[in-house]
Chains A and B, each alone.
Chain A
Amino acid sequence: MSEPQSNEPVDDSGSLDQVPNAEFVQLFTKSQRRLFLFILTQVNNTTDAEEILQDTNVIIWSKFHQFQLGTSFFAWSGKIATYEILKYREKKRAGRLLFSDEFISRVAADAIEMSDELEKRREALSECLRLLKADDRELIQARYAPGENGLKVAERLGRPTNSVYQSIGRIRKVLFDCVTRRLTATARTT
């Protein structure tokens, strides 16, 4: 990790050597969700994925001058993320890692291969969310409210944990199937 020229005063003109230009910032901003999802498939935990994203962002910013405009920002930042995931796994190794290195590398490779399809699925998801029954939509929104998880939702609603897990699982599966169907349908019509 190289030191950025942080003691220089930041000016709005944004000379390319000193600070990233507007295009870089835009690419960076737009890539955040994709990058987060890419990391999540490899660490399985949203909190950890956010932390790794944060570490990745630090590196991205310190190395912005190495990025060449016109090349794929996602490919470039994905490599940085992969390295950060590796560091995270090293750190966690003595604790508990759910999955093996082989698993992670296979999944990461497929994630890149599948990234267009996944992007389409994300678009379809908002439509599928709209189609949910009102009750179901409320439950899934409660589940994904910041800081929430199935357990806390169950406690708040005063329902047995298992039944809330089952409901949330059912809704997620409904969404998953809905997205899959929509994608198959679009594939046929185009």
Chain B
Amino acid sequence: MTPRDLAKLSPELFEWLEALCEDRLSPADAQRLEQLVLCDTTARQAYLAYLDLHGTLHWNTAFGDDGANFEPAIAPRLASETSAETLAKRGHRRLLILAASVAVIAAFSFSIGRWFVPNNDSAPVAVKDEPKSNLSDAGIKNERGVAQDHEDESPQNKPLVLTDRPKSENIVAAAPIAGRDPKTPNPSDKLVANDPRSQRPFGNAVTRTAGSVQGIVAVINEHLAAGWKVQGVEPSPLADDAEWLRRIYLDVVGHIPPVEVAEKFLTDRDARKREKLLDSLLDDPAYVRNWTVIWTNLLIGRSDSRDVNRPALQKFLRENFAKNRPWNEMVAEFISAEGAFDQNGATNFLLAHLNNQAVPATAITAKIFLGQQIGCTQCHDHPFNDWKQDAFWSFNSFFQQTKVARVDRSDGTGKMKSQASALETKPVSGPAHFENRRGVALVAYPKFAGTAINEDAETNRRNELAKLMTAGDKPQVAEAFVNRMWDHFFGYGFTRPVDDMGPHNPPSHPELLDHLAREFVASGYDCKQLIRWVCLSHAYQRTSRFGKSNDQDNPETGASPLFSRVYVKGMTAEQLYDSLLLATGADNTPLATGDHDRRRHEWLQQFVHAFQTDENDESINFESSITQALLMMNSDLTQHALSMDRGTFLEKLTTSRDPEAEKIKRLCLATLTRYPTPKEQQALRRLVHEGTGSRTNAGWQDALWAYLNSSEFVLVH
């Protein structure tokens, strides 16, 4: 690799490598980097050499130049993060191995006693003969210094440090009946609804009136059917009531249906029961809760790392979803919000993203409200879509007057109690400044979708932006929201990703998207109406299973979705947590309380990692793995989920006088929202009997555990 080779490489490559070194490479750029590195040998070598350089700098400051100074790095930080008890339980085997290997090195160069200094706080074992650095603003003079005051994140002592995070093998070992899981039934085990009634779930009357629910549903049906015809695809049959019920519950209210509801619904003979159920769900308090969770995650993320008032934002969302506030008004509130974050919950969206010259605020506003990815246009024109670099900064210019202020809050006695953040508008005029790729300084005036506004100090730019974004017969805001909703219910939107719309990425059903967006605007941005249209469409009534006639409709392979079936989704962490509690009765707190929300939020923190990227990305390291979820839930709760304590599902089940077959049916219904197949009945009966004897009811516990562990439980299908 010579300088001349490198000169031929795209300068973008080095931008991406830089971002990668600082953990701020966006997934979209990662994809482009990957493309380039895969198809160009020099780029690959540059990638390797650059990361090697980054790693060498990292390694050398931590451990010294050549690894010769390696020994101090293996000081074990025993049991620093969890109690010795947990360690003994989970990490026992690893502990032995490590003790052995550390002991070997110790025997080789040091006396053994030194490594096992009892150390209960989280600080690394002090290394006496290693100079400590004084971390000062000027930087560090001593390259090999070990900074003691950054113990929580300092990686320098890690290479042989013990951690006792549960490893997968421990998790498997902890499952009481691993290997006895009754398999998810084979598709053929389960009959697809062939009740003639369910072929026509809404009764007979489908009158076409423009703007009416039936009229719009009919348009959806026609458009999708046309696509199937062209592609030679036969849609999947209708879902039976059980499958449909579970799905609509998870999609609309965020958890599986309670067993009593399922029993009632499955035996209900009303021809319009699906429509009626949907109406009742839209009026359920859980609807408000579910959409509050979804939009909180989109607006400020799940991580607690940003300075926002999460409860206030949630309160704002709850109130607005409860009164079904028009979506354009909600968007306008977020864009133009002013005031303290505890008094006006809507301010928290921008407060979360105003860091770094409002670059994240610019990119995220476009992404979640307009469904457009413009993050990379801050540095250069978008290679694929219409956004140019100056358009990014013209958009950014709308946030130029916005400042974050700190407000003191007193308790009335005059003493300062706490501080709150607030959004303020400062009378700033003029353009935003930016540099293009050649280092030329340029300016951009506030302009959105071709409309410029007055750039004087008196014009409140965010108020203007809010108006511009939500004006017209079919603003991008409406199309983006329809696309997102469609994605929520079907598992795929009209574009992939759902928030990357534009001429470079045409939608799968452009006319349908256009029609729905217009109807959505005409309805007054009525979110519940939009949900009705989607959920009452024929396509949403279909099963997620597919056969030969439509196996080509598989977006996972990269094909454009045809919606000839409803695609399977994994449960979100919140859906899983709530569904677990609901199925097992593990928590006596009703789901719809602040207390429950707070506990769930705390539970979630262990999965979330926030990045300080230009789009403030965060990753959720959550595998929809029930075992992991159960183990990670605070252990009291887990124990309670499978316990026979008063009020739990198992207690109620085992103390009831119903015959055994009835109980097995109930168990299956409570967890998977369906009745067990004959095979399952048999397997479960065996399981229940094996467990009885020494430990009464252990069989029932095993059976419940098995159901919760099945892949059928963690999927929305």
Contact = CB atoms under 8 A, between A and B. Distances in A.
Interface in A159-190: 160-162, 165, 168-169, 172-173, 175-177, 179-181, 183-184
A98 interface: yes
Nearest to B6: A180
A146 B65 CA distance: 14
Contacts of A61: 97-98, 100-101, 104
Nearest to B621: A95
B107 A12 contact: yes
Interface in A16-58: 19-20, 22, 25, 29-30, 32-33, 36-37, 40-41, 44-47, 49-51, 53-54, 57-58
Given A12-B107, A61-B101, A176-B53, 8 more contacts: A10-B100, A19-B100, A125-B57, A144-B57, A145-B145, A150-B22, A172-B53, A180-B3
B150 interface: yes
A173 B56 CA distance: 14
Nearest to A143: B57
A70 interface: no
18 contacts: A3-B97, A10-B103, A22-B108, A25-B105, A33-B63, A36-B59, A37-B52, A40-B55, A46-B155, A53-B158, A91-B168, A95-B621, A98-B30, A103-B37, A122-B56, A138-B138, A157-B137, A173-B14
A107 B105 contact: no
Interface in B45-82: 45, 47-63, 65-68, 70-71
Given A10-B107, A41-B51, A54-B158, A98 B101 contact: no
Contacts of B624: 94
B53 A175 contact: yes
A46 B58 contact: yes
Interface of B: 1-3, 6, 14-15, 18, 20-25, 27, 30, 34, 37-38, 44-45, 47-63, 65-68, 70-71, 93-94, 96-101, 103-105, 107-108, 112, 133, 135, 137-140, 143, 145-147, 150, 152-156, 158-161, 163, 168, 355-357, 359, 570, 607, 612, 619-624
Contact of A110 (B25, B48, B50, B105): B48
Contacts of A102: 38
A110 B154 contact: no
Contacts of B104: 10, 14, 19-20, 25, 61
Contacts of A80: none
Contacts of A1: 93, 97
A146 B146 CA distance: 7
Nearest to A135: B139
Contacts of B163: 51, 54
Contacts of A91: 168, 623
Give 3 nearest A-B pairs by CB, closest first. A61-B101, A138-B139, A147-B154
Contact of B140 (A44, A95, A114, A141): A141
Contact of A53 (B50, B53, B96, B159): B159
Contact of B147 (A44, A138, A145): A145
A176 B50 contact: yes
A160 B156 CA distance: 27
B140 A145 contact: yes
B494 to A, nearest CB: 23
A66 interface: no
A41 B48 contact: yes
A18 to B, nearest CB: 9
A172 B18 contact: yes
Contacts of A65: none
Contacts of B160: 54, 57
B108 A25 contact: yes
Contact of B54 (A32, A103, A110, A172): A172
Nearest to B96: A6
Contacts of B71: 29
Given A4-B96, A33-B66, A141-B139, A94 B623 contact: yes
A141 B150 contact: no
Contact of A100 (B34, B62, B145): B34
Contacts of A179: 49, 53
Nearest to A173: B14
B52 A57 contact: no
Nearest to A87: B168
A118 B52 contact: yes
A162 B614 CA distance: 10
A161 B59 contact: no
A17 B517 CA distance: 73
Contacts of A95: 607, 619-623
A49 B55 contact: yes
Nearest to A109: B44
A106 B21 contact: no
Contacts of A106: 37-38, 44
Interface string A122-150: 10011000000000001111101111111
Nearest to B71: A29
Nearest to B146: A146
Contacts of B51: 37, 40-41, 44
Contacts of B65: 126
Contacts of B355: 161
B107 A14 contact: yes
A139 B63 contact: no
A169 B18 contact: yes
Interface centre among B67, B93, B139 (most CB of A within 10 A): B139
A127 B355 CA distance: 37
A25 B109 CA distance: 10
Contacts of B20: 44, 98
Nearest to A20: B104
A121 interface: yes
Contacts of B112: 10
A30 B48 contact: no
Contacts of A98: 20, 25, 27, 30, 34
A33 B48 contact: no
Contact of B38 (A6, A103, A168): A103
A34 to B, nearest CB: 8
